[in-house]
Each structure stands twice: as C-alpha cells, then as structure tokens.
Amino acid sequence: MAKRAVLFANGEMPQAALILPYLRPDDFYIAVDGGLRYLRNLYKTPGLLIGDLDSIFAADVEGALAQGVEVKRFPVDKDETDLELALLSAVEKGFEEMLIIAALGGRLDQTLGNLALLTLPFLAGAKVTIEDGTEEIFLIRDRTEINGNPGDIVSLIPLQGEVKGVETRDLKYPLNRETLYAEKSRGISNVMLTDQAGVSIESGLLLCIHTRVSKL
C-alpha cells in the first residue's frame, strides 16, 4: 500500500514545476472531481475519482473507468463538499498521511471551507497538509517541526478559540508558553532563523502557514 494519499482538489492549480518536487513515486492519487484534469496534465493516473463529478465530462468518467480507476459518485445535493468526502475515503483506506493540492484560490468560501476541513475529528490522528508549492498549511494539535530556510515566514493562527501554552524555537519573535487568541494577530508573520523551527502548544488548535521565501 502507498504510504501517502495525494488529493487533487478543484481549486487553483499551481505551476507543475512548483508541485512536482513534493510528489513521491509511491503516492496514491485521489482526483477530487475537477482535480482529475490537473492529474492528467501531470501525466498521473488516480487510484480514486470521487465527488459529484459535476466539474468533468461523462467521457472523463468513462475514460477513468476504462483505466481501472475506482470511481465514487455522489449526488450534487449533499451535505459534504467533494474534498471532505475524499478525505474521509482516504482515512477509510487506511492512509495516515495526506497531501492536498489545488485547495486554495478561486472562491473564497471554498478556500475557507477547505482550511476548516483540517479540523475534522476523524483527521485528528493523521498528518494532513495543504500544499501549493509556495506555502504549506497544516494544523498543530501538539507539536511540530517546520523545515524550510532562514527568512521563511511562519504564521500561527488560532482556530476554534484560544490556543494556550504556545512555545516556539528558532523563530525571530519567540513565544514562551503564551496564549494566542483568534481575534488577535499576534502570531502572524514570524520569521525562521534557521532551516528548521519548532512549535508546540498545550491546548487548542493552531493553524500553521509556512510561506517559503525564494532564494533568488
């Protein structure tokens, strides 16, 4: 079984040159409705096509079936977004690590909704990252290490209320067991001092946005 599921959503797709370095040979690809076209442009075949499939043509579905791709089709009128259904399916398949591509940009409501999906309870034990080649976005539930370069920007945004006991390492503006509040901007635009930084919290949910600064 592949170690990681990579989900291609239907948001704005970064340039291939930005995404390809973050893909692995043994990844299991999941096309989330219109995300199928992005995989095709990268000459990748998904193991699963999922969603209400209203963003692709019937011929696309038939072509996927002909390739042996598993297809899960849902009604257009449903309570969950296609990406939420894809994440649930990835967990049901046993994946504990997921990378989400093309989940940002386009409609603001979809972008905010996609970010909120990181807090889904069934993802609590999984490593889930949204990646666009320039930024990586993930949730901190206890502690994490951030790999990058000096000068990279790290923003820490509380979700669902205050986050207590925030402690950082190797960031320009240190936090020492402090509380961050959702309505305040204290955690925005910190800066990495080395190629690795650390963040830990005592309680709450902390959204981490790591923006890579070009070395050029």
Q: How many CB atoms lie within 10 A of CB 206?
A: 22
Query: Cα 1 from chain centroid?
Result: 21
Q: Using CA atoms, how far apart are residues 155 and 16, in angstroms rounded to an integer?
A: 25
pTM (predicted TM-score): 0.93
Domains in the chain, please, with CATH?
Answer: 5-133 (3.40.50.10240), 139-211 (2.60.120.320)
The 10s digit of each residue's pLDDT in 99-114 is: 999 999 878 999 999 9
The 10s digit of each residue's pLDDT in 77-96 is: 898 999 999 999 999 999 99
Segments in the chain below pLDDT 50: 216
Tokens of 142: 């206890």
Q: Using CA atoms, how far apart are residues 141 and 202, in angstroms rounded to an integer?
A: 8
Q: Using CA atoms, how far apart are residues 190 and 183, in angstroms rounded to an integer?
A: 17
